């Protein structure tokens, strides 16, 4: 979401003459876009800001701005703590960014703008340019959340749930496709409840509208809240050819006791039932998830329940986080805190357990032929064996697994593919030859 928001900021500042700069030393404006979901990112924000005063000393006209969730959460406290910061703007103030920057440049006074707006289309209404000519792009379809999980700060920094107008989403994606984008990732804290408040279309119906866009090859989305995952969306994995066979379905814990304390609104059994439904309609679907270890009150038995769930589901991949108290979140006031040492041990144990299943899933693909959407050269392509005229590319399966593959041929053919757009943005059939822990290797067929 912050990547998308940053693109919105660039698009809105362009009419003022601002362009992206590769050097902070030469910049006229520095924007720090922030995240408050865990404690560590917040610490990084203030550490980074603490390294900027010398730039302000060299260039008194430099404008330093802080946006995003930390800005929303801390407000005027940032100005007090960081006297060199000129602008603090919250998650709903992106539409007012250009005006605020203009006012600061003219009048040299500091501004805090953290007012929340009920109109999401005023926040996201500019179709950002495809600056880097990326094949895949993020598109926010909704903001905020109404679930109020006890560990989460999102409702307090991004507001209540609001959905963008479907026609604006389709229009933005069509514009991106015209600039060369071939895959979109639809973003929302809970995409499953898209449009429900507004009474427009359901998320499954929105997917159908987007799938009708010519020259768009693939659609992904994140995140799905398990409590709101309906049969219509599950059926979309069978009926919508452009919808990728991957779902990120955060479970957070395998213990019903902990799920209840988290206010997740589902049980382990109901979660597993939805996993079974997904695999029934789309047997090849890749399922990834989030786990929080060390939530207040999590006993060794609760943790083993989570490990047992991993063994039952066999996820394709997992994001694991140590619980940390967040301002305003109810869990910050819960007792029975788990020690940092125990959290670290549980984190390591979960990661080790999950690696077995990730490797198992990857190895099962060795020998198969799969369709890859090529994103560009692999990071190692310059080191590859060019005297054999083999160019190494990178792309993803529908399941979101990364594949690095080679294109063999005579030197002229390889150079033809290797220069300019080449295979980028094309669907290529690749034979999977090797499975690594977090990626696959293969060769174009």
Alpha carbon 177 to its chain centroid, in Å, reads 20
State residue 15's pLDDT score: 93
State residue 416's pLDDT score: 56
Mean pLDDT computed over every residue of the chain: 92
Sole residue written with tokens 């490797």? 359
**Residue 422: pLDDT over 70:** yes
**Residue 40: pLDDT over 90:** no
> In sequence order, which residues have a C-beta less than 8 Å from that of residue 161 and are 6 or more positions away?
142, 143, 144, 145, 146, 189, 190, 193, 197
Sole residue written with tokens 């398990």? 226
Which tokens in the block code for residue 157? 């920094």
Question: What mean pLDDT is predicted for residues 334-341?
Answer: 96
State residue 395's pLDDT score: 96
In this prediction, residue 409 has a pLDDT band, given cuts at 50, 70 and 90, of: low
Share above pLDDT 90 across residues of the chain, in percent, rounded to a whole number:
86
Which tokens in the block code for residue 382? 């310059």
State residue 10's pLDDT score: 92
Q: Where are the beta strands (DSSP E) in 218-332?
A: 218-222, 246-248, 286-293, 317-322
* Residue whose C-alpha is closest to residue 303's, from 353, 265, 359: 353
Q: What is the pTM of this model?
A: 0.91
Question: What mean pLDDT is predicted for residues 237-242?
Answer: 96
Question: What mean pLDDT is predicted for residues 12-21?
Answer: 94
Share above pLDDT 70 across residues of the chain, in percent, rounded to a whole number:
92
In this prediction, residue 122 has a pLDDT band, given cuts at 50, 70 and 90, of: low
* Residue whose C-alpha is closest to residue 293's, from 305, 282, 311, 281: 305
Question: What mean pLDDT is predicted for residues 95-111?
Answer: 93
Cβ 222 vs Cβ 191: under 8 Å: yes
CATH number at 369-444: 2.40.50
pLDDT tens digits along 143-202: 999 999 999 999 999 999 999 999 999 999 999 999 999 999 999 999 999 999 999 999
pLDDT tens digits along 360-404: 999 999 999 999 999 998 877 555 454 455 788 999 999 999 999
> In sequence order, which residues have a C-beta less than 8 Å from that of residue 160 and are 6 or more positions away?
144, 145, 146
State residue 419's pLDDT score: 44
Which tokens in the block code for residue 419? 């220069």
Question: What mean pLDDT is predicted for residues 93-109?
Answer: 93
Q: Which CATH architecture describes the domain 120-362? A: Alpha-Beta Horseshoe (3.80)
pLDDT tens digits along 259-286: 999 999 999 999 999 999 999 999 999 9
Which tokens in the block code for residue 259? 């799920």
Question: Which of 84-88, 258-262, 318-322, 420-424 has the least mean pLDDT?
Answer: 420-424
* Residue whose C-alpha is closest to residue 1's, from 38, 35, 43: 35
State residue 410's pLDDT score: 45
Question: What mean pLDDT is predicted for residues 301-310?
Answer: 98
State residue 37's pLDDT score: 87
* Residue whose C-alpha is closest to residue 4's, from 150, 164, 114: 164
> In sequence order, which residues have a C-beta less than 8 Å from that of residue 162 and are 6 or more positions away?
118, 119, 120, 142, 143, 144, 197, 198
Q: Is the dihedral of CA 422, 425, 426, 428 positive or negative?
A: positive
> What is the side-by-side strand order in the sheet with 136-140?
136-140, 183-187, 218-222
State residue 415's pLDDT score: 52
Strands 111-113 and 402-407, by their bridges, are unpaired
State residue 411's pLDDT score: 46
Pairwise CA distance, residues 348 & 341, whole Å: 11
Domain residue extents for the chain: 2-113, 120-362, 369-444
Q: Determine whether domain 2-113 maps to CATH 3.40.50.12160.
A: yes
State residue 127's pLDDT score: 66
Pairwise CA distance, residues 372 & 380, whole Å: 18
* Residue whose C-alpha is closest to residue 297's, from 259, 265, 329: 259
């Amino acid at each position: 979401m912050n990547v998308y928001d940053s693109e919105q900021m660039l698009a809105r500042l362009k009419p003022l003459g601002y362009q992206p700069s590769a050097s902070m030393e030469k910049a006229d404006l520095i924007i720090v876009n922030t995240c408050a979901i865990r404690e560590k990112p917040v610490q990084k924000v203030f550490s980074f800001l603490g390294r900027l005063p010398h730039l302000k000393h060299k260039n008194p006209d430099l404008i330093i701005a802080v946006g995003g969730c930390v800005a929303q959460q801390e407000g005027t406290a940032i100005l007090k703590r960081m006297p060199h910061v000129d602008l603090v703007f919250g998650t709903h103030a992106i539409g007012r960014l250009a005006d605020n920057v203009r006012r600061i440049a003219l009048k040299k006074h500091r501004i805090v703008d953290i007012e929340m707006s009920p109109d999401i289309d005023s926040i996201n209404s500019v179709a950002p340019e495809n600056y880097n000519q990326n094949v895949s792009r993020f598109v926010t379809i909704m903001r905020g959340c109404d679930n109020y999980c006890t560990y989460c700060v999102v409702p307090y920094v991004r507001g209540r749930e609001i959905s963008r107008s479907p026609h604006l989403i389709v229009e933005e994606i069509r514009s991106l496709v015209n600039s060369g984008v071939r895959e979109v990732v639809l973003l929302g804290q809970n995409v499953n409840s898209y449009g429900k408040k507004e009474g427009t279309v359901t998320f499954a119906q929105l997917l159908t509208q987007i799938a009708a866009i010519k020259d768009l090859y693939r659609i992904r989305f994140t995140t799905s809240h398990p409590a709101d995952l309906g049969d219509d969306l599950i059926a979309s994995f069978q009926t919508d050819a452009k919808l990728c066979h991957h779902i990120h379905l955060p479970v957070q814990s395998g213990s019903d006791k902990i799920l209840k304390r988290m206010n997740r609104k589902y049980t382990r059994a109901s979660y597993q039932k939805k996993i079974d439904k997904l695999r029934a309609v789309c047997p090849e679907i890749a399922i990834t998830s989030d786990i929080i270890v060390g939530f207040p009150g999590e006993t060794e038995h609760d943790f083993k329940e989570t490990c047992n769930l991993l063994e039952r589901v066999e996820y394709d991949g997992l994001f694991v986080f140590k619980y940390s108290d967040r301002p305003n979140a109810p869990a910050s006031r819960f007792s029975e805190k788990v020690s940092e040492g125990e959290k670290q041990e549980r984190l390591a144990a979960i990661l080790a357990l999950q690696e077995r299943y990730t490797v198992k899933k990857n190895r099962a693909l060795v020998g198969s032929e799969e369709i890859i959407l090529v994103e560009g050269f692999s990071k190692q392509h310059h080191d590859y064996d060019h005297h054999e005229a083999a160019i190494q590319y990178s792309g993803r399966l529908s399941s979101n697994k990364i594949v690095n593959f080679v294109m063999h041929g005579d030197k002229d053919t390889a150079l033809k593919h290797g220069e300019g757009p080449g295979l980028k943005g094309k669907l290529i059939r690749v034979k999977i030859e090797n499975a690594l822990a977090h990626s696959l290797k293969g060769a174009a067929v």
